[in-house]
Amino acid sequence: MSLVANTGKLAGRTLFITGASRGIGKAIALKAAKDGANVVVAAKTAEPHPKLPGTIYTAAEEIEALGGKALPCIVDVRDEKQVQKAIDEAVKKFNGIDILVNNASAISLTGTAHTDMKRYDLMHNINTRGTFLASKLCLPLLQNSDHAHILNLSPPLNMNPYWFSVHVAYTMAKYGMSMCVLGMSEEFKQYNIGVNALWPKTAIATAAIEMLTGDTSTSRKPDIVSDAAYVMLCKDPTKYTGKFEIDEDVLKAAGIKDLTPYACDPKNVDNLLLDGFLDDPAALAQHKTVSSASVRRYHTSAARFAEKAESGG
């Protein structure tokens, strides 16, 4: 359920979204489609996954059903040639790119001893390198847009040691995406390109998360992230850049006061599972650490992820 009204500000704009075949990436694509946007669905899934729904082609069909135009492209963000080919196809079909959403990401919430190098390389090559690569290759086209944005789905750069201690490899990989925001937002000011990050306050009920955890009752729907992304992408990029935003903060600032409809189970609205990398501000100010409640709730989720990842579930 979307609580943010479409304004038409993205009508005719072209969004290049990595990992857009399902989950948050697809939700952002569908929200933009309601404005009449063009969407490049840049993802790996061309054939149906045995456990996860959706392909680049089914996502494209949904986009067009909502009034947008879609270009499904098989893209592994680790492959420079595939990324460049998709960009070239976008230029041919839509005459440019206005917005890049770096959503593709790999996750393994495992400690050092239980993170093999194949898994380490996967996270860093998709999260950090993939984000840098897509941003670099899209840059010449974004420079030609009068409404250029880069939006990374990555957390604020929180240097609390706790977030490194529980899964240092994953933290490094996600923070690489965030450091792209930190650096590129300053570097690209000269081109009037807004570069920002967005991160959910709580767990988000995507099919991948449901497969890993088996439960979404204490999560929110992807709509909360896509609504926040829409608000951000409609802003003036010359004035709005270098921000590390949290989804619910963006929406509250936009006038959405009651976030209950985003909860998968309204009965759990006061017991939602917190996402990683976010500290309780009061506890942090007093103790320079996350609150015990925040640690306990987050760590329960992390442990469940790690158990699933190590068992191959």
Quick check: is 298 catalytic?
no
158 found inside a domain: yes
Cβ burial, residue 27 (10 Å; 0-12/13-18/19+): buried
For the record, the structure tokens of 237 come out as: 């990029």
User: Could you list the residue range(s) of the whole structural domain that residue 166 is in?
Assistant: 14-310
% residues pLDDT > 90 (the chain): 80
pLDDT at 307 > cutoff 60: no
CA atoms of 153 and 150, how far apart (whole Å):
10
pLDDT at 161 > cutoff 60: yes
> Using alpha carbons only, what angle is made at residue 59 by residues 54 and 62, rounded to the nearest 5 degrees?
120
Between 211 and 297, residue with greater pLDDT: 211
The mean per-residue pLDDT over the stretch 236-253 comes to 98
- Residue partners of 272: CB distance under 8 A and separation at least 6: 201, 202, 203, 218, 219, 220, 263
For the record, the structure tokens of 56 come out as: 């680049």
For the record, the structure tokens of 308 come out as: 């699933």
The mean per-residue pLDDT over the stretch 274-302 comes to 57
CA atoms of 16 and 41, how far apart (whole Å):
7
CA atoms of 27 and 247, how far apart (whole Å):
14
User: What confidence tier does 10 reach under pLDDT thresholds 50, 70, 90?
Assistant: very high
Predicted TM-score (pTM) of this structure: 0.92
Among 86-100, 123-137, 159-173, 198-212, the minimum mean pLDDT is found in: 198-212
204 found inside a domain: yes
Between 286 and 262, residue with greater pLDDT: 262
Question: pLDDT averaged over the chain?
Answer: 91
251 found inside a domain: yes
CATH number at residue 299: 3.40.50.720
Q: How many domains does the structure of the chain reveal? A: 1
The mean per-residue pLDDT over the stretch 137-144 comes to 99
1 found inside a domain: no
**Of 190, 78, 71, the residue nearest 137 (C-alpha):** 78
Q: Report pLDDT for 291.
A: 45
At which residue do the structure tokens 């995507």 appear?
A: 206
104 found inside a domain: yes
The residues pairing with 15 across neighbouring beta strands, listed in sequence order, are: 39, 99
User: What confidence tier does 28 reach under pLDDT thresholds 50, 70, 90?
Assistant: very high
The mean per-residue pLDDT over the stretch 47-55 comes to 88
Q: Of 170, 230, 262, 298, which is the active-site residue?
A: 170
At which residue do the structure tokens 């196809």 appear?
A: 89
**Of 272, 291, 274, the residue nearest 160 (C-alpha):** 291
pLDDT at 50 > cutoff 80: yes
What is the chain's length? 313
6 found inside a domain: no
Q: DSSP for 93-142? A: HHSS--EEEE---------GGG--HHHHHHHIIIIIIHHHHHHHHHHHHH
Between the CA of residue 255 and those of 35, 151, 258, what are the distances in Å? 20, 22, 9
287 found inside a domain: yes
5 found inside a domain: no
